[in-house]
Structure 1
Amino acid sequence: MTVLDVQGLTVRTAEGTVLVDNLSLTVGRGERLGLIGESGSGKSLTTLAVLGLLPRGITATGSVELAGTQIVGASEKQLTAVRGRDAAVVFQEPLTALDPLMRAGRQLAEPLRRRGLKGAALKQAVTDALEQVRLPEPDRIARSFPHEMSGGQRQRVALAMALACDPALLIADEPTTALDVSVQAEMLDLIDTLVRERDMAVVFVSHDLAVVARITDRAVVLRAGRAVEEGPVLDLVRAPGHAYTKSLVSSAQRLESALDLGGTR
């Protein structure tokens, strides 16, 4: 079943500058797609277009169908219904993604209320969600403000919020970049486990081919807003066809530890 179907997506500024150029991709239930490229390649703009969150003055044309809803041209009411229910996102820096003036438990409760939970059932659901992302002392974390938690703890809270409504699609936009290497590995393992258990579709955004190789099945390589190559991750690693992909492979110092090149993910 196709969860996300993007056809001919073009993103432009108000002045007409093309930022994403005629991009097409599909992601089915249980599939993991990587979007890889350097800063400014159009990765994050693509994911923002999928969620209808493009900044003011930047517009999208083409088709973006998410779980049966056409995103391009949709009303804010339609987009609000889609976000969280059909798709959710984990951003790079949770300290800016989370409300600094709100305790973690209260923030996590917001999407859970959409599922009709309240009272004791809501409180228990918050605890369960924090436990599912392997946070020790979930009650203490629920009472904490973002600045009272480590970067890894904040990112786990953000992941719990994204998964709270069991969306069909998880968008992970550089979710481990701000974390140190050991915490990054734990976060990738956690995402891998949770999306596998839920049979979710995933779009994983990164500039790091080693990270994409570890977590995804297929990848689209973006350069200056255009897809220059796509295919199974192992094929792109073993036999990159485009010069830009070759440069990404040569610069990825952790590929051998990210996956067994003699096997499959």
Structure 2
Amino acid sequence: MSLLEVAGLTVTAGGRRLVDDVSFTVAAGERVGVIGESGSGKSVTSLAITGLLGGGLETSGSVLLDGTQVIGAPDRMLRPLRGPVASLLFQEPLTALDPLMRVERQIAEPIRRHLGLRGAALQQAVLGALNDVSLPDPRIARAFPHELSGGQRQRVATAIALAASPKLLIADEPTTALDVTVQDEILTLLERLVAERDMALLFISHDLAVVARMTQRVVVMRRGEAVEQGPITEILGDPQHPYAQGLVASARALDSALDAPATPGVVR
């Protein structure tokens, strides 16, 4: 059995299908990407996997998370899965983090809830979690999110997501809000942590180059449907669906433009 098995997942809102009959799997330790334009259903899929969709949305199909059926399950059954089994890393840490709570308390909460640590052991675990994401300065633990840089906030969000040692990390466009240099630092950090902890990774993005770097297999989504999926090397080398072909062609055109020699007098 795969760690995550999504079969025929459909999410509707007011009769409109946001996700339409999507199926894919993620094995233990596997790195899978989900790519598509804005509105393709990527983030809705990630929220459905963890049972975090808001009210007014109807869900059908099957989502087996470590053997537990998510679709239709009461929240009390899913809460123990969020953290130790699957954890979400969101796109914008400034909104994902609690602005009124110090960093140490936000990291401590999942550790206390899922690992049962208290007192000095909890404090050491918090500092260890920050050290794992290359934030060794103890002053950061006492900071509020607005006192940190964008890169530091995303590292804190990563520490929270990994605090309960999940089997599956769902990273929903975790570098979109960051500049290019910081983006590379965060991706390198995620690569290291996923490898060290032998976690599965579901990496959601609209950037084909980033997905190619981070994953082994990819699901291409468009207008709520999974139009193509397979090993990333096959998608890059011989995409079959017109939308996937367009993504690959656009990425190659951008690479060519960036690699082209500069023309005197032209600012790029």
Q: 2:119 maps to what in 1?
A: 119
Within a 5 Å distance, the mapping from 1:139-154 to structure 2 comes to 139-154=138-153
Contact 2:66–2:85 (8 Å) recurs in 1: yes
TM-aligned CA deviation for residue 158 of structure 1 = 0.5
TM-aligned CA deviation for residue 155 of structure 1 = 0.4
Q: 1:196 maps to what in 2?
A: 195
Q: Aligned with 1:74: secondary structure?
A: coil
Q: Aligned with 2:100: secondary structure?
A: coil
Q: 1: CA distance between counterparts of 2:173 and 2:190?
A: 12
Q: Alpha carbon RMSD of aligned pairs, Å? A: 1.4
CA pair 110-19 structure 1, distance change in 2 beyond 3 A:
same
User: Greater CA radius of gyration, 1 or 2?
Assistant: 2
TM-score (norm 1): 0.94
Q: Percent identity?
A: 61
Contact 1:172–1:204 (8 Å) recurs in 2: yes
Contact 1:210–1:255 (8 Å) recurs in 2: no
Q: 1:92 maps to what in 2?
A: 91
| Number of matched pairs | 255
Q: 1:262 maps to what in 2?
A: none
Does residue 1:162 correspond to 2:161, yes or no? yes
Contact 1:172–1:202 (8 Å) recurs in 2: yes
TM-aligned CA deviation for residue 49 of structure 1 = 0.3
Q: 1:261 maps to what in 2?
A: none
What are the Cα deviations for residues 155-186 of structure 1, in whole angstroms up to 9, with x where unaligned?
00010111111111100000000011011111
Q: 1: CA distance between counterparts of 2:171 and 2:250?
A: 22
Contact 1:11–1:58 (8 Å) recurs in 2: yes
Q: 2:186 maps to what in 1?
A: 187
TM-aligned CA deviation for residue 16 of structure 1 = 1.6
Q: 2: CA distance between counterparts of 1:127 and 1:233?
A: 36
Q: 1:212 maps to what in 2?
A: 211
Q: 2: CA distance between counterparts of 1:201 and 1:245?
A: 24
Q: Aligned with 1:29: secondary structure?
A: coil
CA pair 77-254 structure 1, distance change in 2 beyond 3 A:
farther
Contact 1:209–1:255 (8 Å) recurs in 2: no
Contact 1:217–1:232 (8 Å) recurs in 2: yes
Q: 2:46 maps to what in 1?
A: 47
Q: 1: CA distance between counterparts of 2:126 and 2:217?
A: 33
